[in-house]
């Protein structure tokens, strides 16, 4: 559905997203996992044509067979109106405090689908029902401050679904929510994706949430893809030391309070200080001499792909 | 419930007084404002003429009331037109950015540099003095002020998450400006309008004083002042009353604007309280 080839984003101090390929098929559910600054949101925004003007985007962007590389803002806007949509981390600030939530959801219907006010209201009501908003009729005329965080996120999902998009990008949709509400929202997203045959790109730093939601996972770090593979592979047979580190850092009930939670040593350096080679060099437990200077290619394996010198060396050594 | 700022209460009371008098003048005045009673000129305050009469025996209270109406009407029209055009220009500047924004803001700077009085004199020279000239002059001078206020506030709102969400939903800049930006910049624009209202009253009085505004027999505080000037030693009360009216109206709207600003930005109010 969407194909990104050699996509890269450069900021004033250097690359923020290094040349990367990415594609998502119709109805597919893909997760992107990574820390802050890993480039996961930039990758998503470049698919929406919404990267800030201060940054430069390069590479080929193909949406449903259309080359959007040099598309105008108007072309992008029409695409966002009909085919692509996005929900965000902070459901409070993503809703206009002075606008009834029903009007917010009805606006794109009236603008893009030519609905009358009454039709748009009826459609908004059915979207509210579909996204599991309680007392949908009453909610339509309420303001954001009258809704709970979970309800607000559902309103934003209803807004995103209004024009039947082919792809929904969810950028950390659950990070600002309680654990239980977060679970319900992820389940809702999976259900909607299945029922509507809508592709879902789920972006999060929470591996557990992503693994519940997706069929395929991309692990990013420092503006680079570290590893990709089916959700099962990533969760149970990951090859990359960064992914392994992330998995080990998950708290588990069985060991809670018995031992310190393992962490990845160090912290993410600012983009201009990242190593030129493998972005993870310097924090990697199995680092080799040339890791910091040579960028490892993303090597396909039977179950996915990983970008790691060690992984390649081990594979060829084992043969 | 937060306590209302004192300046808001005092300003509100003064403004209510002026607006009530102005509204009442439309349906009732103690005497017809232009009715002359020469034998009774320079009458002292009495039961029939509460503030006395002027050099032609006209009732002072009636004239002041009708003048209040004229003054309010001029200020309301001028500030509304200026606020409307200026806000639209500010919204356009913030929405489009680039050279459009640059052009609008530089033109605003140009407008700021232009003295109201000079502009009004030019208009009066071209079209003859009238209250319409006053309205146009004040409205024109107000446009850059509102363009700046609207653009500065709008630029902040454009960075909010809900604007980003609206863009992600494919809304265009016009729809975003109308649905999201405008309601969220209404507060600063209204505050500015109240303050400009006070300035407009003063400007109208000044222009009428100079003979560029209200023409006889239409009463205006400014014109009453200029007529009273020659009689200063004979009947100082004729200058004092219109002067006092101008003072009350300008102070009232000024305090109201200040109070509204404190109300819409509580931090500013607190900081002031600590000064």
Rounded to two decimals, the pTM is 0.84
Q: Please state the rounded mean pLDDT for residues A107-124.
A: 93
Identity of the residue in A90, A96, A108 whose CB atom sits nearest the CB atom of B180 = A96
Q: Which two tokens stand for residue A89?
A: 């981390």
Give the angle subtended at the CA of A56 by the CAs of A50 and A62, to the nearest 5°.
Answer: 60
pLDDT band at B2 (very low <50, low <70, confident <90, very high): low
Nearest residue to A170 via CA among A143, A199, A147: A199
Q: Does the predicted interface ipTM exceed a cut of 0.95?
A: no
User: What residue in A sits closest to B183 (Cα-Cα)?
Assistant: A98
Determine the Cα–Cα distance for residues A49 and A7; give it in Å rounded to an integer: 12
Q: Is A301 helix (H, G, I), strand (E, B) or coil?
A: coil
Identify the CA nearest to A6 among candidates A46, A50, A54: A46
pLDDT at B272 exceeding the cut of 60: no
Q: How far apart are CA B163 and CA B70, in angstroms?
A: 42
Long-range contacts of A282-288 (CB under 8 A, 24+ apart): A284/A241, A284/A242, A285/A241, A285/A245, A286/A241, A286/A310, A288/A313
pLDDT of residue B142: 95
Least confident of A285-299, B18-32, B123-137, B261-275: B261-275
**Percent residues over pLDDT 70 in chain A:** 97
Give A180-237 pLDDT, tens digit per residue: 888 999 999 999 999 999 999 999 988 888 999 999 999 999 888 999 999 998 998 8
Count how many pairs of residues, chain A against chain B, have C-beta atoms within 8 Å. 73
Q: Which of A122, A146, A123 is nearest to A134 (CA)?
A: A146
Long-range contacts of B208-214 (CB under 8 A, 24+ apart): B208/B134, B210/B117, B211/B129, B212/B120, B212/B121, B212/B124, B212/B129, B212/B133, B212/B134, B213/B74, B213/B129, B213/B130, B213/B131, B213/B133, B213/B134, B214/B67, B214/B70, B214/B131, B214/B134
**Would you say residue A277 has pLDDT above 90?**
no
* Cross-chain residue pair A107–B171, CB shorter than 8 Å: yes
Give the Cα separation of A77 and A276 in Å (integer): 36
- Percentage, residues of chain B above pLDDT 90: 67
Residue from the list B169, B172, B183 with its beta carbon closest to the beta carbon of A98: B183
The architecture in CATH of the region A2-83+165-265 reads 3-Layer(aba) Sandwich (3.40)
Please tell me which of the candidates A80, A93, A99 has its beta carbon nearest to residue B169: A80
pLDDT tens across A41-60, in order?
899 999 999 998 889 899 99
Residue A316 has pLDDT above 60, yes or no: no
Question: What span, in angstroms and rounded, lies between the C-alpha atoms of A309 and A299?
Answer: 10
Q: Is the dihedral of CA B103, B109, B110, B111 positive or negative?
A: positive
**Predicted local distance difference test score (pLDDT) of residue A269:** 83
pLDDT of residue A315: 60
Q: pLDDT tens digits for A281-306? A: 888 888 888 888 888 888 887 778 88
* pLDDT category of residue B275 using cuts at 50, 70 and 90: very low
pLDDT for residue B274: 45
List, for residues A90-99, the tens digit of each pLDDT value: 888 899 999 9
- Adjacent-strand bridge partners of A202: A31, A170
| A319 pLDDT above the threshold of 50 | no
Q: Whole-angstrom Cα distance, residue A93 to residue B54? A: 62
Q: Which residues of B touch A175 (CB under 8 A)?
A: none
For residue A28, pLDDT over 50 is answered with yes
> Mean pLDDT throughout A63-88?
90
Contact A95 B169 (CB under 8 A): no
Q: Give the per-residue pLDDT at B165.
A: 92
User: Three-state DSSP class for A220?
Assistant: strand
Q: Of the given ranges (A8-22, A155-169, A251-265, B182-196), which has the lowest mean pLDDT?
A: A251-265
Measured between beta carbons, the chain B residues lying within 8 angstroms of A86 are 165, 168
**Interval A240-248 mean pLDDT:** 88
Angle at the Cα of B196 (from B191 to B199), degrees rounded to 5? Answer: 145
pLDDT at B170 over 70: yes
| B83-107 per-position pLDDT tens digit | 999 999 999 999 999 999 999 999 9
**CB contact B170 to A (< 8 Å):** yes
Smallest CA–CA distance from A155 into chain B, residue: B165
Angle at B16 between CA B220 and CA B193, to 5 degrees: 75
State whether A94 and B162 contact (CB < 8 Å).
Answer: yes
- The shortest C-alpha distance from B228 to chain A (Å) reads 51
Task: With residue A225 as reference, give the H or E element that holds it.
Answer: strand A224-230
pLDDT tens-place string over residues B204-219: 999 999 999 888 878 8
Q: Where are the alpha helices (DSSP H) in B41-181?
A: 60-96, 98-113, 116-127, 131-158, 161-168, 173-176
Distance CA B79, CA B86 (A): 10
CB–CB contact A108 B184 (8 Å): no
Pairing status of strand A56-63 against strand A2-11: antiparallel
In this structure, what token pair is assigned to residue A280?
A: 């993870």
pLDDT for the residue B268: 53
Secondary structure (3-state) at A126: helix
DSSP 8-state assignment for residue A273? G
**Partner A contacted by B162 (CB < 8 A):** yes
Dihedrals φ, ψ of B84, to 5°? -60, -55
DSSP state of A133: -
Nearest neighbour of B168 by CB, restricted to A48, A93, A104: A48
Residues B140-156 have pLDDT tens digits of: 999 999 999 999 999 99
DSSP string, A6-28: EEEEEETTEEEEEEEEEEE-TT-
Q: A5 near A62, Cβ under 8 Å?
A: yes
Interface of B with A in 179-218 (CB under 8 A): 179-180, 183-184
pLDDT of B181 above 90: yes
CA distance B131 to B207: 9
Tell me the average pLDDT across A85-89.
89
Across the interface, whether the CB atoms of B175 and A111 are under 8 A apart is answered: yes
Interface test with A, best of B96, B165, B188 (most A CBs within 10 A): B165
Give yes or no for a contact between A83 and A47, defined as CB atoms under 8 angstroms apart: no
DSSP class of B214: P
For B175, which of A93, A107, A156 is closest by C-beta distance? A107
Pick from A301, A232, A309: nearest CA to A278: A309
Q: Flag if A81 and B170 touch (Cβ within 8 Å).
A: yes
Can you give the residue ranges of every domain in chain A? 2-83+165-265, 98-162
Q: Which residue of B has its CA nearest to A107?
A: B171
Which residue of chain A comes nearest to B160, CA vs CA?
Answer: A93
How many Å separate Cα A255 from the centre of its chain?
Answer: 30
pLDDT band at A314 (very low <50, low <70, confident <90, very high): low
Phi, psi of B132 (to 5 degrees): -60, -45
Residue-level pLDDT at B178: 95
Q: Which residue of A has its CA nearest to B186?
A: A98
Alpha carbons A172 and A234: distance in angstroms, whole number? 19
Of residues B7, B14, B170, B158, the one with CA closest to residue B93: B158
Record the tokens describing residue A83, joined without a space.
């085919």
As a three-state string, the secondary structure of A154-187 is HHHHHHHHCCCCCEEEEECCCCCCCHHHHHHHHH
Q: For residue A38, what pLDDT is reported?
A: 87
8 A C-beta contact, residue A124 and residue A105 = yes
- Calpha distance B124→A210 (Å, rounded): 72
Q: Which whole-number Å values give the CA distances from B15 to A77, B76, B241, in the listed order? A: 47, 13, 17
């Amino acid at each position: 559905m969407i194909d990104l080839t050699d996509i890269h984003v450069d900021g004033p101090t250097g690359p923020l997203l290094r040349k990367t390929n990415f594609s998502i098929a119709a109805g597919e559910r893909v997760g992107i996992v990574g820390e802050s600054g890993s480039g996961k949101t930039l990758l998503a925004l470049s698919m929406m044509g919404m990267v800030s003007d201060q940054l430069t985007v390069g590479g080929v962007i193909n949406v449903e067979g259309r080359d959007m590389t040099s598309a105008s803002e108007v072309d992008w806007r029409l695409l966002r109106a009909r085919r692509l949509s996005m929900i965000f981390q902070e459901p409070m600030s993503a809703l206009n405090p002075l606008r009834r939530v029903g009007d917010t959801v009805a606006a794109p219907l009236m603008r893009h689908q030519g609905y009358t006010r009454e039709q748009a209201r009826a459609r908004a009501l059915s979207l509210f029902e579909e996204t599991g908003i309680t007392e949908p009729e009453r909610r339509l005329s309420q303001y954001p401050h009258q809704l709970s965080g979970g309800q607000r996120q559902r309103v934003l999902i209803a807004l995103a679904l209004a024009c039947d998009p082919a792809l929904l990008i969810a950028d950390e949709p659950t990070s600002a929510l309680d654990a239980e509400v977060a679970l319900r929202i992820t389940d809702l997203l999976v259900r909607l994706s299945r029922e509507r045959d809508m592709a879902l790109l789920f972006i999060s730093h929470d591996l557990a949430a992503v693994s519940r939601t997706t069929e395929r996972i991309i692990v990013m770090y420092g503006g680079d893809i570290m590893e990709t593979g089916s959700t099962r592979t990533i969760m149970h047979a990951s090859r990359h030391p960064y992914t392994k580190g992330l998995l080990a850092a998950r708290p588990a009930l069985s060991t809670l309070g018995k031992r310190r939670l393992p962490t990845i040593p160090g912290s993410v350096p600012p983009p201009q200080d990242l190593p030129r080679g493998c972005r993870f060099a310097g924090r990697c437990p199995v680092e080799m001499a040339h890791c910091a200077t040579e960028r490892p290619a993303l090597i396909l394996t039977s179950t996915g792909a990983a970008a790691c010198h060690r992984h390649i060396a081990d594979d060829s050594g084992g043969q | 419930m937060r306590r209302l700022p004192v300046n808001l209460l005092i300003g509100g009371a003064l403004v209510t007084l002026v607006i009530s008098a102005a509204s009442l003048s439309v349906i009732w005045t103690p005497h017809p404002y232009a009715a002359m009673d020469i034998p009774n000129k320079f009458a002292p305050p009495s039961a029939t003429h509460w503030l006395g009469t002027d050099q032609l025996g006209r009732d002072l209270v009636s004239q002041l009331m009708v003048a209040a109406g004229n003054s309010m009407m001029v200020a309301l029209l001028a500030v509304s037109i200026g606020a409307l055009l200026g806000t639209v220009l500010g919204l356009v500047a913030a929405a489009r950015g680039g050279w459009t924004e640059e052009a609008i803001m530089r033109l605003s700077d140009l407008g700021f540099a232009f003295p109201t009085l000079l502009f009004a004199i030019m208009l009066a020279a071209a079209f003859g003095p009238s209250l319409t000239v006053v309205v146009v002059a004040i409205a024109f001078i107000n446009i850059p002020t509102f363009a700046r206020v609207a653009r500065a506030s709008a630029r902040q709102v454009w960075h909010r998450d809900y604007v980003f969400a609206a863009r992600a939903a494919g809304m265009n800049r016009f729809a975003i400006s109308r649905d999201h930006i405008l309601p969220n910049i209404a507060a600063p624009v209204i505050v500015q309008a109240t303050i400009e209202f006070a300035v407009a009253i003063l400007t109208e009085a000044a222009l009428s004083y100079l003979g560029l505004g209200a023409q006889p027999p239409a009463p205006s505080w400014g014109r009453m002042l200029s007529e009273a000037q020659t009689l200063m030693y004979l009947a100082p009360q004729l200058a004092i009353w219109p002067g006092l009216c101008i003072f009350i109206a300008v102070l009232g709207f000024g305090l109201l604007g200040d109070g509204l600003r404190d109300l819409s930005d509580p931090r500013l109010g607190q900081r002031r309280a600590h000064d």
